[in-house]
């Protein structure tokens, strides 16, 4: 039972299984700054958990 993180169509490794998905998101902001405000959703694929990050839609101005 593995966790697979997905952002922008790319699968990212689970660097630390003890971290929450939000902590993983925060650690990935050094490589993907746009993830600082990203949302995530969890789905199942077999026994694996897929955690997909997506940029939060907002307004400018």
pLDDT band at 9; cut points 50, 70, 90: very high
Higher pLDDT, 36 or 1: 36
pLDDT digits (tens, 9 = 90+) for 14-39: 989 999 999 999 999 999 999 998 99
Largest CA distance in the chain: 43
Q: What tokens appear for 44 in the block?
A: 């199942």
Is 90 exceeded by the pLDDT of residue 51?
yes
For the segment 39-56, the average pLDDT, to the nearest whole number, is 92
Helix (H) or strand (E) holding 6: strand 3-7
In this prediction the pTM is: 0.81
In sequence order, the β-bridge partners of residue 52 are 6, 41
């Amino acid at each position: 039972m593995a966790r697979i993180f997905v952002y922008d169509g790319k699968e990212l490794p689970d660097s630390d299984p003890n971290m929450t998905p939000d902590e993983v998101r925060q650690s990935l902001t050094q490589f993907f700054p746009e993830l600082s405000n990203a949302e995530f959703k969890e789905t199942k694929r077999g026994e694996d958990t897929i955690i997909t990050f997506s940029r939060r839609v907002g307004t400018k101005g």
